Amino acid sequence: MLKGKSILLGISGGIAVYKAAELVRLFVKEGASVHVVMTANAQRFVTPLTFQALSNNVVGRDLFSMQSESRISHIQMARLADLVVLAPATANLLAKMAAGIADDYLTTILLATTAPVMVCPAMNVKMWEHPVTQRNLRTLAELGHRIVPPGVGALACQEEGAGRLADTADILESAIRVLTPPTLAGRSILVSAGPTREHFDPVRFLSNPSSGKMGYALAKIAARRSARVCLVSGPSALPAPAGVERICVTTALQMGEAILEISSKQDAIVMTAAVSDYRPAQRAARKIKKSPEALSVLLEPNPDILGSLGAAKPPGQVLVGFAAETENLAQNARDKLMRKNLDLIVANDLTGEGAGFGSDTNEVTIIERGGEESALFLMTKEEVASHIWDRVERLFAGGKN
Ligand code: PMT
């Protein structure tokens, strides 16, 4: 996701410096070229050698060092960066930045760069809550810096509260988002994901193996492209993607209600959820006791949410369905596309290895209403999601919205 991007990681002196090593590793793994700059205090916690080895680049640490300035000057560093990430950012660094002080390698770069700056604070909870720190943060936010707030929990100083450096995975995701072109900015998007559960007693239900991975990937990639995303999710073990509003539901009826309430305001809706077509006609109030007799459960049909969306589609809205099939993939998918009044359908062959339920990968064919069809190879669900949003963007651009 960060291939070809240059990230300047500024590290200031706090106990969370050791977590910055993991951050370098994550950035490098995503293809970024990383240049690390450390304050003098940061070097007391972890040696520059660690960051040099992980980034494969000389660590900037002394403004007056002939050696590092001759290899790449601090002004070149400032120019080179596509993104500056400050992690951990101490209260002292925030104060210097808010005041425009440039008295070392890092703060000099911060005044000289025109790249976006992401600030990831980490400090003692009282320092974090101090009105001066909060005022400095507001100043930095007003200047356009992105703040990745600290987590809450046990702190190294034996206190509890806000002040832990945000999770490195969240910092990585924020960095990817800053560097992703905002091609869905201003768009409201609704994605459904996961299975539904249809209970026939308090402990037993009818469901399917959907993990939510495909729908969560769609929500995540849309948020990266700066859309306002609402994710209506059936039961799933996955955490909500950063920056996505999640509405959790259990049954098909609840999912339908949650979606139809907000559907008319959406620029695009993607129904990835594996909605149960049937639900038990009755739900026992208590657990049904085991007996040697056969047990029959009468099922009644659930409403077709996508069908209702298609019937009431406002002009310009892009409606995308999925078709999970085990036979006649393209034909069944095309039938659903026409019957449910969709703009796009994603045909998902459940028989392929690594495709469909539960896997991190998927193999789909995207079929447009106009008849255009593209079969994608096996790829990660995030990559599939990117292809789907590319198509939706094309429909927006073609005057669909
Ligand atoms: O969650 P994962 O583990 O990542 O798995 C992903 C997936 C296999 C669930 C996903 O890729 C997928 O194929 N989702 C569609 C599952 C499905 O219910 O397909 P369907 O062919 O039965 O339904 C067609 C469309 O109608 C779907 O968009 C579905 O959301 C919608 N539908 C179905 C029934 C119903 N009562 N209401 C609906 O809106």
Q: Are residues 245 and 213 in the same domain?
A: yes
SS3 at position 123: coil
In contact, 349 and 315? CB cutoff 8 Å: no
Which pLDDT value is given to residue 243? 87
Is residue 120 part of the annotated active site? The answer reads no
- Cβ of residue 356 lying under 6 Å from some atom of ligand 1: yes
The answer to the question of residue 85 being in a domain is yes
Distance between Cα 345 and ligand 1 center (Å): 11
Verify whether ligand 1 is closer than 6 Å to residue 68 (CB atom).
no
pLDDT band at 242 (very low <50, low <70, confident <90, very high): confident
Do 164 and 207 fall within a single domain?
no
Residue 401 pLDDT > 60:
no
Number of domains in the chain: 2
Asked if the structure places residue 99 within a domain, the reply is yes
Residue 152 confidence (pLDDT): 87
Does ligand 1 lie within 6 Å of residue 208's CB atom? no
**Per-residue confidence (pLDDT) for residue 108, from 0 to 100:** 93
* Short-list 216, 194, 190, CA closest to 392: 190
pLDDT in tens, 327-385: 898 899 999 999 999 999 999 988 889 999 999 999 999 999 988 899 999 999 999 99
26 and 140 in a single domain? The answer is: yes
CB of residue 214 inside a 6 A radius of ligand 1 = yes
Whether residue 1 lies inside any domain: the answer is no
Among the residue ranges 146-160, 183-197, 271-285, 382-396, the one predicted with the least confidence is: 146-160
Q: Report pLDDT for 66.
A: 59
C-alpha–C-alpha distance, residues 39 and 126, integer Å: 23
255: in domain? yes
- Check pLDDT > 90 for residue 201: yes
Q: What's the whole-number average pLDDT of the chain?
A: 94
In this prediction, residues 128-149 reach a mean pLDDT of 97
The residue whose CA has the least distance to atom 35 of ligand 1 is 304
- Report how far ligand 1's centroid is from the alpha carbon of 229 (Å): 19
Last residue of a domain, one of 136, 153, 179: 179
132 shares its domain with 40: yes
Q: Is 191's C-beta closer than 6 angstroms to any atom of ligand 1?
A: no
Q: Who's near 310: CB < 8 A, 6+ residues apart?
A: 319, 339, 340, 341, 342
**CATH number for 365:** 3.40.50.10300
User: What is the reported pLDDT for 64?
Assistant: 73
Counting from 1 in the atom list of ligand 1, the atom nearest the Cα of 322 is 28
What per-residue confidence (pLDDT) applies to 26? 97
114 and 192 assigned to the same domain: no
Assess whether 133 and 257 both reside in one domain.
no
The answer to whether the pTM exceeds 0.75 is: yes
State the pLDDT at residue 363: 94
Residue 67: per-residue pLDDT: 63
In a domain, 142, yes or no: yes
CATH number, residue 62: 3.40.50.1950
Residue 213, ligand 1, Cβ within 6 A: yes
Are residues 150 and 221 both part of a single domain?
Answer: no
Q: Whose CA is nearest to atom 23 of ligand 1?
A: 323
Mean pLDDT for the stretch of residues 69-79: 73
If one residue of 210, 263, 329 were mutated to test the ligand 1 pocket, choosing by the most ligand atoms within 8 A of its CB, it would be: 210
Residue length of the chain: 401
Q: Specify if 75 maps to a domain.
A: yes
Residues 283 and 343 in one domain: yes
Please give the pLDDT value at position 71.
63
Q: What percent of the chain has pLDDT over 70?
A: 98
Residue 115 lies in a domain: yes
What letter would DSSP give residue 368?
A: E
Atom of ligand 1 nearest to the CA of 303: 36
Alpha helices, DSSP H, located in 225-313:
252-262, 305-311
Q: From the CA of 107, how far away is ligand 1's center (Å)?
A: 51
Q: Looking at the structure, do residues 41 and 124 belong to the same domain, yes or no? A: yes
pLDDT at 68: 62
152 assigned to some structural domain = yes
pLDDT digits (tens, 9 = 90+) for 210-235: 999 999 999 999 999 999 999 999 99
Contact 27, 34 (CB under 8 A): yes
Rounded distance from Cα 399 to ligand 1 centre (Å):
27
Are residues 154 and 196 both part of a single domain?
Answer: no
Specify whether 367 is located in the same domain as 278.
Answer: yes
Which of residues 146, 179, 212 is at a domain's end? 179
**One of 120, 157, 230, 248 is an active-site residue; which one?**
157
Domain end position, chosen among 160, 179, 198: 179
Quote the domain boundaries for residue 25.
Answer: 6-179
Looking at the fold, whether 252 and 116 belong to one and the same domain comes out as no
Name the least confident of 10-24, 56-70, 200-214, 369-383: 56-70
Confidence of residue 70 (pLDDT cuts 50, 70, 90): low
**Joined tokens for residue 393:** 């963007």
